[in-house]
Amino acid sequence: MLIPHPLLGPRDAQEFTYLGDASLLARPDGMAEHAEDAFSDHVYLRDNPAGVHRELWFHEQGDRSWLVVTRDTVTHEILGAELARDVVRGGRP
Amino acid sequence: MRFSGMRLLREALRGHTGWGPMWRDPDPDPAYDIVIVGGGGHGLATAFYLASVYGQRRVAVLEKGWLGGGNIGRNTTIIRSNYLLPGNQPFYEFSMKLWEGLEQTLNFNAMVSQRGVLNLFHTDAQRDAYRRRGNAMHLTGAGGRLLDRDAVRAMAPFLNFDAARFPIKGGLWQPRGGTARHDGVAWGYARAADRLGVDIIQNCAVTGFRIEGGAVRGVDTTRGYIAAGKVGVAVAGNTSRVMALAGMRLPIESHVLQAFVTEGLKPVIPGVITFGAGHFYVSQSDKGGLVFGGDIDGYNSYAQRGNLPVVEDVIEGGMALMPMIGRARLLRSWGGVMDMSMDGSPIIDRTDVGGLYLNAGWCYGGFKATPASGHAFAHLLATGDPHPTAAAYRLDRFARGHVIDEKGVGAQPNLH
């Protein structure tokens, strides 16, 4: 799999480490009511779709940036990649 | 039709014209007491134990494809009970005991072969860890012996003992472990369940659950609505998709695991051997092929096929452990979709929906668990209580903080 890095161009997926569902970027508020439940859901539950999936890849053997990669889990086709920091600043994890 | 030596002799004299189909191909009834979703090893075993041990007579197994076409036909056929943690080891030892009597129970040759499982260690720390594991095994009567380097050499002289980086210092040997014919297990359970009146309905995909008043009433399928008193789901890699139909999110990710087989060779490997310094496990099938595998690919996947970097990684492990494997030609490789749970251990439990039960999260250890998983799930479905050996496999253990994490890597499914 080749990941289209927004700064470096196409990079072999072997250079990356995989973390999983990009919704992990939306960390719950620890001071909110029922924060325990929110954190247990955040840590343990996943959507796990068959099809388009937004997921976090870390460019460990490259520029050490975190990317949000959009990928099809049925075909392994990669549909796009963006810097995770842009996604967070844009407010849409 | 019962298999026996006499029967074989009779058929041999009649030109083998008397063998009938091994199971019926019925249309679904409008209603059942218990519907099992998923006609793989665990689903078929559940149906068999429901009928044989718990006296349930109106049971159906719904399979979206063909019987045994999923992970039961895609694994590396290893059976063993060499776990460490108290939540796991009694369950896997229960499974091993069921394996030992399986062929008589099912009247079917599943080719269970207790040729031994050898886990190698390469450092002093690893020796300590395996000694501890061996003691945990002895607590459940699973047996096992810690072998020194010479004993391993006598058993498998072809291993790379003097590799500079990962010299072999010994191994933990479980002589009762071994292999079984994976398709035969599915066929044996299917045939035995069918003989007890279980309807096995193939090409029947579940498209939704009918839930009223917080309890399941039946399932919508591609072959129409089927009412059910209770529904048990055992669909491995598709667990998240099926349970999403009931509105549930689960502590599971689906990952692809690849496996490999070489051309047939003369007997060279005595049992199952695992590499302790990389992730590689190998055995030799009765047909002669070296069957081996390694890590999952590491990213969410429903593809039933993997990528080349992991092929390279697995082969590197094989070459590091037993350089002679480089002379064997690879015949096939394939992939299966694993339901990787957040702690690496399975779930056999009821759910928040009344009458809806879940059997999932087997990661890539589901094959060896097939008999106990079916037995424990049948116990839960029939009695409403967890089986004593599977009492730790609760769905809410993650929220309660009672995870069963053999490797201690945390909520990171691709590392289990």
Report the CATH number at residue B136: 3.30.9.10
Residue B191 lies in a domain: yes
B244 and B259 both lie in a single domain: no
Q: pLDDT per residue over B221-246, tens digit each?
A: 999 999 999 999 999 999 999 999 99
Interchain proximity A50–B249, CB inside 8 Å: no
Give the pLDDT of residue B1.
Answer: 80
Residue B381 lies in a domain: yes
A55 neighbourhood in chain B, CB within 8 Å: 299-300
CA distance B24 to chain A (A): 32
Residue B48 lies in a domain: yes
Q: pLDDT per residue over A16-59, tens digit each?
A: 999 999 999 999 999 999 999 999 999 999 999 999 999 999 99
Residue B328 lies in a domain: yes
Domains of chain A from N-terminus onward = 2-27+37-89 (3.30.2270.10)
In this model, does residue B299 exceed pLDDT 60? yes
Give the pLDDT of residue A38.
Answer: 96
In this model, does residue A93 exceed pLDDT 60? no
Residue B96 lies in a domain: no
Residue B32 lies in a domain: yes
pLDDT bin (cut points 50, 70, 90) of residue B86 is: very high
For residue B387, the enclosing domain spans 25-78+182-251+343-396+403-415
pLDDT bin (cut points 50, 70, 90) of residue B212 is: very high
CATH classification at residue B408? 3.50.50.60
B287 and B382 both lie in a single domain: no
Q: pLDDT per residue over B400-413, tens digit each?
A: 999 999 999 999 99
A13 neighbourhood in chain B, CB within 8 Å: 299, 307, 309
Average pLDDT, chain B: 97
Instruction: Give the residue-averaged pLDDT of B282-303.
Output: 97
Instruction: Give the residue-averaged pLDDT of B45-55.
Output: 98
Domain end point (choices B324, B341, B358) = B341
Interface of A with B in 2-61 (CB under 8 A): 13-14, 18-21, 37, 40-41, 43-50, 53, 55
Instruction: Give the residue-averaged pLDDT of B292-316.
Output: 96
Which percentage of chain B shows pLDDT scores above 70?
100
In this model, does residue A91 exceed pLDDT 90? no
B326 and B257 both lie in a single domain: yes
B129 and B221 both lie in a single domain: no
Out of A18, A40, A75, whose CB is closest to B303?
A75
In this model, does residue B26 exceed pLDDT 90? yes
Considering only CA atoms, which of B264, B266, B242 is closest in space to residue B252? B242
Give the pLDDT of residue B273.
Answer: 98
CA distance B67 to chain A (A): 22
Domain end point (choices B296, B324, B341) = B341
Query: Among all residues of chain B, which has the CA nearest to that of A15?
Result: B309
B280 and B163 both lie in a single domain: yes
**Tokens encoding B211:** 């839930």
Residue B237 lies in a domain: yes
Cα–Cα–Cα angle for B203, B207, B210, rounded to 5 degrees: 125
pLDDT bin (cut points 50, 70, 90) of residue B208 is: very high
Q: pLDDT per residue over B343-375, tens digit each?
A: 999 999 999 999 999 999 999 999 999 999 999
Instruction: Give the residue-averaged pLDDT of B259-273.
Output: 96
B142 and B159 both lie in a single domain: yes
Give the pLDDT of residue A92.
Answer: 62
B364 and B230 both lie in a single domain: yes
Domain end point (choices B299, B317, B341) = B341
A44 neighbourhood in chain B, CB within 8 Å: 251, 342, 398-399, 411
Give the pLDDT of residue A90.
Answer: 82
B172 and B259 both lie in a single domain: yes
CA distance B253 to chain A (A): 6
Residue B10 lies in a domain: no
B162 and B188 both lie in a single domain: no
**Domain total in chain B:** 2
pLDDT bin (cut points 50, 70, 90) of residue B198 is: very high
